[in-house]
Amino acid sequence: MLVGSEAAFLSHLPMFDHLNESGDAYVTPHRYQAILQASLTRGSKDVTNLYFADRQSHPATKMFTVSPARTFVLPDLMSQPVSTFNATVFRGHLERGGRPIPNMSGVTVKVARVVHFHKFEPAAVPPNALEYLVFGRGKELYLAHSISKPPDFDQIVSVEVSGGDFSDADLGTAIRIHVPDRKNTSADRLHEGDQVTAEFADGTKRSIRGLREFYFEEGELLMPATFDPTPEEVKAGFGN
């Protein structure tokens, strides 16, 4: 998943799939939640603006995706000071009818920083209250739902946060928040136009308003996963 109109962020599309025989690990290679800030280059030229321009000229398209040219081990990408991989950028979901953006096939994705990374563990205890990760740059802020164990859901929604701006240092890693008066379920997630009070790790509270839901998926985060649209996905307009 590729999001951002001023800075480019990648969010890995995860799955639980199934457990190993001992039941202490998920087997799927997609058993990670990862958010990365990145740039797109061809040769020595930065072409990230081509993606920004295409997103701006297709305002009705919520989802842009990146398809790596070859497989790689995701944790290895996290461990390098500078990590790159070749890819094609799609307008739309790369597995659901998305189309490559002109001049953005065979680009190099350069990871500028790892904003968030964690491996799913079967022993994890899911939070009772709705929990998110804040990421972005400047005034362009997003929430990614914090994923723990099945059944769960993935969501990225742009937001406004009251109480002052976050610095680049603040957003160097994703900021974990929770919404005490909402359950950690897809039906109770932050919707477009919702305004909630979120609590930060230091105990401060800020008002957050949902702007645009760029991505929502729950079927692929069931175990076993389903690729058929769930009623909640259809309701949200992500059923195709």
Structure-block tokens of residue 210:
């949902």
Q: Helical H runs in the chain?
A: 48-57, 74-78, 231-236
Mean pLDDT by 10 residues, the chain (240 residues): 97 96 95 96 95 97 95 80 88 94 95 95 96 96 98 98 92 97 98 98 95 97 95 90
pLDDT of residue 82: 62
The predicted-structure confidence for 142-151, as pLDDT tens digits, reads as follows 999 999 999 9
